[in-house]
Amino acid sequence: MRREWAEETEWIRRAGAGDTAAYEELLAPVLGDAERLAYGMLQDRANAEDAVQDAAVRAWQRLGNVAPGRSFGPWFLGIVANRCRDARRSNWHAVVLLADDDEAWPPDDEWAGDGGWQEAADLRAALAALPDSYRVTIVLHFYLDLPLEEVSAVLGLGIAGVKTRINRGLRQLRRALQAER
């Protein structure tokens, strides 16, 4: 459900003045998408939660940067994407993921079957290997099911740029998945 622009603008104004209830009203509808975006980017639930929390704090501190007429949702998702990029650049990100790698294996009773879990793991690995610019675009469009216009607003790109990143990212994904087979 889309909010009215006037209502959202008022919440942004009130939240910028320190009204926490107004900030919660702004944040609540986009938190689910933010969490899915962060998980799609980082492939680790704890790191994703940290990235979203950090983004929420940063957004609260920078509410004055929301351009007049711009919706809060895409602006906030852009901050989440940036926090995820920063987390992936951190040396600790790789250390934490390696330490938790045993949890990625399915339980013993899931080893038999059609290999669906392995295909999903291959896709996650191929997605994680993509450059951040392609990964975030693909996650926003296909995983969060955002239309190209909203992906464009989140990333601050034109629609042609979004389509280019999606096409290049999908091409790299296909190559990686074919190499796995």
List the chain domain ranges.
1-100, 105-181
What pLDDT shows up at residue 181? 66
What's the angle, vertex CA 127, arms to CA 159 and CA 175, rounded to 5? 90
8 A C-beta contact, residue 22 and residue 63: no
Calculate the alpha carbon distances from 85 to 126, 130, 166 in Å. 17, 12, 17
**Whole-number Å distance between alpha carbons of 150 and 131:** 20
Neighbours of 112 (CB within 10 A): 7
Got the DSSP string for the chain?
-PPPHHHHHHHHHHHHTT-HHHHHHHHHHHHHHHHHHHHHHHS-HHHHHHHHHHHHHHHHHTGGGSPTT--HHHHHHHHHHHHHHHHHHSHHHHHHHHHTGGGGSPPGGGSSSSSHHHHHHHHHHHHHHS-HHHHHHHIIIIIS---HHHHHHHHT--HHHHHHHHHHHHHHHHHHHHHH-
Count CA atoms closer than 13 A to 49's CA, side-chain side. 2
Does 105-181 match 1-100 at the fold level? no
Per-residue pLDDT of the chain (181 residues; tens, 9 = 90+): 345 767 888 899 999 899 999 999 999 999 999 999 999 899 889 999 999 999 999 999 999 898 887 889 999 999 999 999 888 776 444 444 444 444 443 444 443 345 555 677 788 888 888 998 999 999 999 988 899 999 999 999 999 999 999 999 999 999 988 886 6
Domain 105-181 indexed as CATH 3.30.420.40:
no
The CATH number for 1-100, chosen from 1.10.150.20, 4.10.780.10, 2.40.50.100, 1.10.1740.10, is 1.10.1740.10
**Whole-number Å distance between alpha carbons of 72 and 60:** 11
